[in-house]
RNA sequence: GGACCCGUAGCUCAGUUGGUUAGAGCGUUUCCUUGACAUGGAAAAGGUCACAAGUUCGAGUCUUGUCGGGUCCACCA
């Protein structure tokens, strides 16, 4: 079989991503004979292009899905995309602005048509990229959060919640993005530390214009909307002023000094300006004290007619101007630097404005309750578990969810208002909430209805993802029954509140059941300096470029092996994956080149242990141990560990030792069989991690069995697990390593054979060495290994006079075996002795302690039987160890 | 202000319930290439496991505190 000596990943990537999809190999459907294993993809935004975060997130899902598929589950990975309201609208608005237009130059319908056109053209970009990554989704099932059916689910949910009284409309302070000109939820306002100022402003009293109350604020421009100044009722400094009237500079509004428990007398001056229309706390105070609500800002952040002389200025411009003017009026006490957290729009990073407006909200507490319980009771588990607390903490302090957005791209709120006949105006003020377009006002019969202009928050559709993707509520019942609840959800920490928590609430509320039982939270991909990767920072590494340069397997493998926690990624990190894929390729090439029988096949589990030599028993043991540990790691979402295990096994055991050991024995069909069997089964357990190279190699060796992605996971054969073989090989390997070490230090040509005396203190070791001289010869290039078993010997040959110098021979201790290599050199025997003596002493101390404990009646009574047994076992092994060490010391005398 | 995570080799990190000599990759140094692979092989150097106290026969691992780094939440104007 002719294979190139380099793994040609670009060809292989293209070939298999095509093949898998063309043959619909990832399709899953209701199958009563199999257990389902379902994962729903965190739907990427239609505006998305694959970044490292996606690459990691989807690789992890793919590993699990492929693994479970091979374990015999009906594994379904449900794909799809999210319409991503603001993000997508922004993209198209930017496109428009290049033409010198805004969305308001178009009608709503025209603008939406442009959005759909954009979606049709670019919306599947990321889907294609995911296919390049090898994502084994059931692609024909792909859903979009604005599909007709999906939209119905959204409307239906709105109606249900409205009817339950869990959706309400009201005027509250919300986070407002002046650039996007829409409301944002609390989660969509990202708080970032900003270096700002705390301005101490003087508000003069009405009756004594040269006397002031000093208030502290970070946003002086909002003063124009002040309708009170508040102090703490217990604050002695201000008690006398409560009830007095102040004159608000510039606008000359008369405002009262009020008292409110909320005010912290220790902060700032202890007196706070109250701006009910521009601050959530002030809003609450305003309600409590029935203050006037003066909104001084237009939706775009420009001051309005209530701002007096500052009307028409942008909010930040106005801040400067107001400070300037106040300074001239000597109304600024001082300005001190002040760091504080300021909300930013999570889409465009503009500073958000707390803004008073009429919005729709979801009442969250009743929804949160069952969702809290589900996690508390362990029905849903977080991996790693520490995220449980984060989730619970948020859920227990949950606040109502602002779901209306003043944009056009999204699910329009299913609410209509009657703008009908005059006589009915009052009665018709109640909104008409309806799943379908209502024909007439139920109160007055007018057909003059107007739908609410706003659309719903994107997450108001995403939170239905685990069941709406199956066609809920109208269709897909069979699929839902089978695939729901899903098994695992893979996502990043910042999505817990946005999505995970809300999906749990939606699942409980609408399906009556949790949406998934496991939530795996993976790390964030950062650059080498630990900064988040982002386009604006210019530190992003493009996964597609890595795929091009190193291959998809390399990208996957490298990302995952680094995914124990947050990942610090630089381009060189991907070499490990490329090199490993190449190694796999070349090792397979070696095996294939040496296999003579084209129909070779073997079932490792059915081999007769007694007929196998030590290296075979060992490599089989190592394979099974690896397969089991990889399974266990997968089940616990420890994918980086799984890859380390595979790496260690394949390189450290199979290539570096086993293949080297059998190098001269290829003609032996038995050797061919073992090598073939191990390689073939290794491809299986590596497949979820490196699907492309393994699939390609599988085709070369087991094509008749069909594609690797549909094969079953190797079954571990208990009777072939030989721990002893492992121990024995460890001894031989240590011996070989020691001899190589000596050769390297004394610069002996590796090709040159040397002689060596191996002196053992146990017959067991002697037998082991005798039986495996071939191994030693092969790996350590020993010309002749003489064994002197069960003898305690004097100093090494060479006739050393001083105890610390042995000339003409090197003595190396490998466990209990003394290895004397006549090369010339020096070894410090005294130092060795001291070291071992120290060990003996430590062991003896431990021995005493253990013995004592095992005599202690209380310990025996309290400790579980298995612990006692374990300790006893330990005692025996410690005893043996001490005896061995003593013998070694004796041999050094 | 509250919560969480991290500190182990020059760098990036493993280290599963406490237990023999604390591991890997990269980097560095030395040697090796006509037959699987230089995207390779053999080997070396490099660690008071942040610090301190405690529990224990025994602590990288458990407890407490200190220092240093990071993340999330929160209405301190």
Render pLDDT for A169-180 as a digit per residue (tens, 0 to 9).
999 999 999 988
- What digits encode the pLDDT tens for the residues A483-530? 999 999 999 998 999 999 999 999 999 999 999 999 999 988 887 777
Q: How far apart are CA A204 and CA A211, in angstroms?
A: 6
Residue A604 scores a pLDDT above 80: yes
CB-strand contact A881/B, under 7 Å: yes
| Measured CA distances, A298 to A590, A619, A814 (Å) | 73, 74, 81
What is the residue whose two structure tokens read 């006589």?
A: A423
Nearest partner of A366 among A508, A537, A197, judged by Cα: A508
pLDDT per position as a tens digit, A463-492: 999 999 999 998 878 999 999 999 999 999
Whether residue A67 has pLDDT greater than 90: yes
pLDDT at position A447 is: 81
* pLDDT, averaged across chain A: 86
Residue labelled with tokens 């986070």? A175
Judge whether A827 and A812 are in contact, CB under 8 Å: yes
| Residue-level pLDDT at A482 | 96
> How crowded is residue A252: how many other Cβ atoms within 10 Å of its Cβ?
9
Q: What is the dihedral of CA A137, A138, A139, A144, to 10 degrees?
A: -90
Between CA A741 and C1' B44 the distance (Å) reads 9
Of all nucleotides, the one whose C1′ comes closest to residue A852's CA is B57
- Determine whether the distance from the CB of A665 to the nearest atom of strand B is below 7 Å: no
pLDDT of A552 above 60:
yes
Are the beta carbons of A214 and A202 closer than 8 angstroms?
A: yes
**Better-predicted residue by pLDDT, A392 or A804:** A392
Residue-wise pLDDT for A261-276, tens only, equals 888 888 888 899 999 9
Q: How many CA atoms lie within 13 A of A390 on its CB side?
A: 17
pLDDT at position A775: 86
Whether CB of A876 is under 7 Å from strand B: the answer is: no
Q: What is the ipTM of this complex?
A: 0.94
Question: Residue A436 has which token pair?
Answer: 């379908």
Q: Which of residues 331-370 of A touch strand B (CB under 7 A)?
A: 338, 340-341
* A424 against A752, higher pLDDT: A752
Give the pair of three-digit tokens for residue A361: 């909200």
Count of C-beta atoms within a 10 Å radius of residue A321: 16
Q: What is the mean pLDDT of residues A109-135?
A: 94
Across the range A8-15, mean pLDDT stands at 94
State the nucleotide closest to A813 in CA–C1' terms: B21
Give dist(CA A522, CA A533) in Å, integer. Answer: 15
pLDDT of A865 above 80: no
Q: Does the nearest atom of strand B lie within 7 Å of A859's Cβ?
A: no
A874 CB inside 7 Å of strand B: yes
Sign of the C-alpha dihedral computed for residues A595, A598, A604 and A610 taken in this order: negative
What would the pLDDT profile of A423-433 be if each residue is shown by its tens digit? 555 556 778 89
Tell me what pLDDT residue A422 has: 58
Within 7 Å: CB of A833 and strand B? Answer: no
Give the CA-to-C1' distance from A730 to B35 in angstroms. 29
Residue A384, preceding bond cis, omega within 30 degrees? yes
pTM of the model: 0.90
Q: Residue at minimal CA–C1' distance from B2? A: A393
Which whole number is the average pLDDT over A801-829? 51
Nucleotide nearest to A654 (CA to C1'): B36
A819 pLDDT band, cuts 50/70/90, is: low
Q: Which residue is nearest to nucleotide B5 (CA to C1')?
A: A386
pLDDT score of A813: 62
Nucleotide nearest to A267 (CA to C1'): B76
A 492-521: CB within 7 Å of strand B: 493-494, 497
The integer distance in angstroms from the CA atom of A68 to the C1' atom of B1 is 45
Position A816 scores a pLDDT of 59
DSSP summary character for residue A458:
T
Query: Any idea which of A54-63, A239-248, A505-514, A743-752 has the lowest mean pLDDT?
Result: A743-752
When mean pLDDT is compared across A315-329, A605-619, A794-808, the lowest value belongs to: A794-808
Q: Which one has a higher pLDDT value, A850 or A670?
A: A670
What residues does A78 pair with on adjacent strands? A40
Closest nt by CA–C1' to A870: B19
Statement: the CB of A191 is under 7 Å from strand B: yes
Chain B positions with any atom < 7 A from a protein CB? 3-6, 12-15, 19-21, 24-26, 30-32, 36-44, 56-58, 70-77
Q: Supply the Cα-derived Rg of chain A in whole angstroms.
A: 37
* Closest nucleotide to A881: CA versus each C1': B20
Q: Give the pLDDT confidence score for residue A382 in this predicted structure.
A: 92
Torsion sign across C-alpha atoms A736, A739, A744, A745: positive
What would the DSSP string read from start to end of A50-109? --HHHHHHHHHHHHHHHHHHHTT-EEEEE-EEB--HHHHHHHHHHHHHHTT--GGGS-HH
Contacts of A801 (CB under 8 A, 6+ apart): none
Residue A356 — very low, low, confident or very high, per pLDDT cuts 50/70/90? very high
Residue A541's pLDDT is: 86
CA of A568: nucleotide with nearest C1' = B12
Q: How many Å apart are CA A791 and CA A777, to the nearest integer?
A: 23
Inform me whether the pLDDT recorded for A47 exceeds 60: yes
Does A270 contact strand B, using a CB cutoff of 7 Å?
A: yes
Q: How far apart are CA A42 and CA A48, in angstroms?
A: 12
Query: Tokens for A741?
Result: 């070490």
Q: Give A3 or A39, the one with higher predicted confidence.
A: A39
pLDDT in the model for residue A793: 39
pLDDT-derived band at A684 (thresholds 50, 70, 90) equals very high
* For the segment 641-660 of chain A, residues whose CB is within 7 A of strand B: 641, 644, 647, 651, 655-656, 659-660
What per-residue confidence (pLDDT) applies to A475? 80
Residue A28 has pLDDT above 50, yes or no: yes
What are the tens digits of pLDDT across the range A166-225? 999 999 999 999 988 999 988 888 888 888 888 999 999 998 888 899 999 999 999 999
User: What was the pLDDT predicted at A448?
Assistant: 83
- Give the rounded percent of residues in chain A with a pLDDT score beyond 90: 53
* Percent of chain A at pLDDT exceeding 70: 90
In whole angstroms, B40 C1' to A316 CA is 62
Residue A825: the pLDDT is 37
């Amino acid at each position: 079989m002719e294979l190139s000596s380099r793994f040609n990943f670009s060809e292989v990537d293209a070939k298999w991503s095509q093949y898998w999809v063309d043959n619909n190999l990832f399709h899953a459907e209701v199958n009563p004979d199999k257990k389902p294993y379902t994962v729903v993809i965190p739907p990427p935004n239609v505006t998305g292009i694959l970044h490292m975060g996606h690459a990691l997130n989807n690789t992890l899902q793919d590993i699990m899905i492929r693994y479970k598929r091979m374990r015999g589950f009906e594994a379904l990975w449900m794909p799809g995309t999210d319409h991503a309201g603001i993000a997508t609208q922004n993209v198209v608005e930017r496109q428009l602005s290049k033409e010198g237009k805004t969305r308001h130059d178009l009608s709503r319908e025209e603008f939406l048509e442009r959005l759909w056109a954009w979606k049709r053209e670019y919306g599947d970009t990321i889907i294609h990229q995911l296919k390049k990554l090898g994502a084994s989704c059931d692609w024909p099932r792909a859903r979009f959060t604005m599909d007709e059916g999906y939209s119905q689910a959204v409307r239906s949910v709105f109606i249900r919640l409205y009817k339950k009284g869990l959706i309400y409309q009201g005027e509250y302070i919300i986070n407002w993005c002046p650039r996007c000109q829409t409301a944002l939820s609390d989660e969509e306002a990202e708080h970032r530390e900003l270096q700002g100022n705390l301005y101490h402003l003087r508000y003069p009293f009405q009756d004594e214009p040269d006397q002031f109350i000093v208030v502290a604020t970070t946003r002086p421009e909002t003063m124009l909307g002040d309708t009170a100044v508040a102090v703490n009722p217990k604050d002695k400094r201000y008690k006398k002023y409560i009830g007095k009237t102040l004159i608000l500079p510039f606008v000359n509004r008369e405002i009262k000094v009020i008292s409110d428990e909320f005010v912290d007398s220790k902060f700032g001056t202890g007196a706070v300006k109250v701006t009910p229309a521009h601050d959530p706390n002030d809003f609450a105070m305003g309600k409590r004290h029935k203050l006037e609500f003066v909104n001084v800002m237009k939706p775009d952040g420009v001051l309005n007619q209530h701002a007096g002389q500052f009307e028409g200025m942008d909010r930040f411009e106005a801040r400067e101007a107001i400070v300037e003017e106040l300074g001239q009026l000597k109304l600024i006490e001082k300005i001190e630097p002040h760091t504080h957290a300021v909300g930013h729009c999570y889409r465009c990073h503009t500073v958000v404005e707390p803004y008073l407006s009429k919005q729709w909200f979801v009442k969250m507490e009743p929804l949160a309750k069952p969702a809290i319980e589900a996690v508390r009771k362990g029905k849903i588990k977080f991996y790693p578990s520490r995220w449980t607390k984060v989730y619970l903490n948020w859920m227990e302090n949950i606040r109502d969810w602002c779901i209306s957005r003043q944009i056009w791209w999204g699910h329009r709120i299913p609410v209509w208002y009657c703008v009908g006949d005059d006589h009915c105006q009052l009665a018709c003020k109640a909104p008409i909430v309806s799943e379908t377009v209502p024909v007439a006002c139920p109160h007055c019969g007018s057909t003059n209805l107007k739908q609410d202009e706003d659309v719903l928050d994107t997450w108001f559709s995403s939170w239905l993802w685990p069941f709406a993707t199956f066609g809920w509520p109208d269709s897909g019942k069979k699929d839902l029954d089978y695939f729901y609840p899903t098994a695992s959800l893979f996502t990043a920490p910042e999505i817990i509140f946005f999505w995970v928590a809300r999906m749990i609430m939606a699942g409980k509320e609408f399906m009556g059941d949790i949406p998934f039982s496991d939530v795996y939270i993976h790390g964030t991909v950062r650059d080498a300096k630990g900064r988040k990767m982002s386009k604006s920072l210019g530190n992003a590494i493009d996964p597609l470029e890595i795929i091009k340069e190193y291959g998809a397997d390399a990208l996957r493998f490298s990302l995952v092996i680094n995914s124990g926690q947050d990942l610090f990624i630089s381009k060189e990190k991907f070499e490990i994956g490329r090199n490993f894929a190449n190694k796999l390729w070349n090792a397979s090439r070696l095996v294939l080149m040496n296999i003579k029988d084209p129909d070779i096949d073997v079932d490792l589990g059915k081999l007769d242990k007694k007929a196998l030599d030590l290296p075979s028993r060992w490599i089989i043991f190592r394979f099974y141990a690896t397969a089991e540990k990889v399974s266990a790691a997968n089940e616990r979402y420890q994918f980086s560990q799984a890859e380390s295990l595979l790496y260690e096994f394949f390189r450290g055991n199979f290539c570096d030792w086993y293949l080297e050991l059998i190098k001269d024995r290829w003609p032996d069909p038995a050797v061919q069989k073992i090598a073939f069997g191990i390689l073939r089964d290794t491809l299986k357990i590596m497949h979820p991690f490196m699907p492309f190279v393994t699939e390609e190699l599988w085709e070369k060796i087991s094509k008749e069995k069909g594609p690797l992605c549909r094969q079953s996971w190797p079954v571990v054969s208990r009777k072939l697990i030989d721990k002893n073989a492992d121990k024995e090989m460890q001894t031989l390997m240590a011996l070989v390593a020691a001899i190589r070490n000596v050769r390297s230090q004394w610069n002996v040509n590796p090709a040159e054979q040397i002689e060596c005396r191996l002196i053992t203190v146990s017959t067991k070791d002697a037998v082991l060495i005798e039986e495996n001289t071939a191994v030693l010869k092969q790996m350590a290039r020993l010309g002749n290994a003489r064994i002197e078993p069960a003898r305690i010997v004097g100093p090494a040959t060479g006739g050393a006079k001083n105890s610390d110098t042995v000339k003409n021979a090197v003595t190396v201790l490998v466990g209990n075996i003394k290895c004397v290599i006549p090369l010339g050199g020096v070894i410090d025997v005294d130092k060795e002795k001291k070291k071992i003596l120290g060990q003996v002493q430590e062991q003896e101390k431990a021995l005493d302690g253990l013995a004592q404990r095992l005599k202690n009646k209380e310990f025996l009574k309290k400790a579980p039987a298995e612990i006692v047994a374990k300790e006893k076992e330990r005692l025996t092994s410690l005893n043996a160890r001490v005896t061995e060490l003593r013998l070694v010391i004796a041999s050094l005398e």
